[in-house]
Amino acid sequence: MEYRGVVLDVDGTVVRGDEAIPGALDGLAAIEAAGLDRLFVSNNPTKKPPAYEERLRGAGIDATADEIVTSGTTTTSYVAEQHPGAKTFCIGEEGLHDQLREAGLELVSASDDTEVVVVGIDREFHYDDLRDAYVALRDGATFYGTDPDIVIPSAGGDIPGSGAIIHAVSGVAGREPDAILGKPSPVARDIVLDRLGLDPEEVLVVGDRLDTDIAMGTSAGMGAAVVRTGVTDDAALAASDHEPDYVLDSLGDIESVLSE
């Protein structure tokens, strides 16, 4: 298959912490040489795209903000479209709060008439947040999660991600989210394909997670390549229902896919 675009996961695929993963720069050079359009698509909602641009540039990757989509991007886009101006209680970090405000949503700390609860990773998650989310959801607010990642890679090893906090809120509220809006959701898929302006079969997804990156690719008819530089190992591959088209040791091996 001759691909015209590539969707690249960020953490565990391109960088770990603030450093490029070995082989990643070679892989990006091969993608550029092949003339593919690219998007960096992350399930990390803590940073706005310009902050991601700065982070990637610090790792030696010449990225621009308009090439970057995060679960904050997809969540904000969807919530603002479905609930314009809604009173929104958000468990998340400042980058997510900023995006929601900029989209015209009214962020509330705790309110009897909260309309929407948005939950993502928050490294200062507090019992009071859990209580306030519980009250809002008990009173009928709509419940959205940014992304399903239970753990995420960091420079010091895997740490709890958005999915862990979403599960805590879901458990106390006794209800599942109405939608989780990062990869592999249809919302994220549609935003990615719209940004690229390509048909699914023209796009290759490369990532380290079978249940998000590979699931989004295969469910949409895109090509899918998993890299071993993040959370996926042979045991995970053997146990997963999501089967990638390619298994790569790192992004540096992508030239073998593009030359087929």
pLDDT digits (tens, 9 = 90+) for 165-193: 999 999 999 999 999 999 999 999 999 99
pLDDT above 90: residue 110: no
pLDDT at residue 4, rounded to an integer: 97
Summarize the confidence of residues 6-35 as an average pLDDT.
95
Domains of the chain are: 5-43+183-258 (3.40.50.1000), 82-180 (3.40.50.1000)
- The DSSP output letter for 213 is I
Query: Other C-beta atoms within 10 Å of 38: how many?
Result: 17
* φ, ψ at 173 (rounded to 5°): -80, -20
Per cent of the chain over pLDDT 70 is 100
Mean pLDDT of 115-126: 97
Ranges of beta strands (E only) in the chain are: 5-8, 15-16, 19-20, 37-42, 68-70, 87-91, 106-107, 116-119, 142-145, 151-152, 159-160, 179-180, 203-207, 223-227, 246-248
With tokens 């990643």, the residue in question is: 24
89 - beta bridge partners?
117
Paired with 68 in beta bridges are 40
pLDDT in tens, 54-80: 999 999 999 999 999 999 999 999 999
Residue 50 has pLDDT above 70, yes or no: yes
Instruction: For Cα atoms 101, 84, 166, give the angle at the middle one, nearest 5 degrees.
Output: 65
Q: Among all chains, which residue has been given the structure tokens 């900029």?
A: 102
Q: Which of left, alpha, beta for 223 (phi over 0: left; psi -120 to 50: alpha)?
A: beta
For range 248-253, the mean pLDDT: 97
Q: Measure the CA–CA gap between 107 and 98, rounded to whole angstroms.
A: 10
Evaluate whether 91 touches 129 at the Cβ level (below 8 Å). yes
CA–CA distance, 238 with 30 (Å, rounded to integer): 29
Residue type (1 letter), 161: G
What are the phi and psi torsion angles at 182 (to 5°)? Answer: -85, -165
pLDDT tens digit string along 127-163? 999 999 999 999 999 999 999 999 887 778 888 999 9
Whether 125 has a pLDDT exceeding 70, the answer reads yes
Instruction: Say how far apart CA 78 and CA 180 lie, in whole Å.
Output: 10
Q: Which two tokens mark 77?
A: 């886009």
Q: What is the pLDDT of residue 84?
A: 98
pTM for the complete prediction? 0.93
Average pLDDT over residues 18-29: 96
Q: What pLDDT, on the 0 to 100 scale, is given for residue 1?
A: 66
Query: What are the structure tokens assigned to 118, written together?
Result: 């948005």
Mean pLDDT computed over every residue of the chain: 95
Residue 67, both tokens? 């090439």
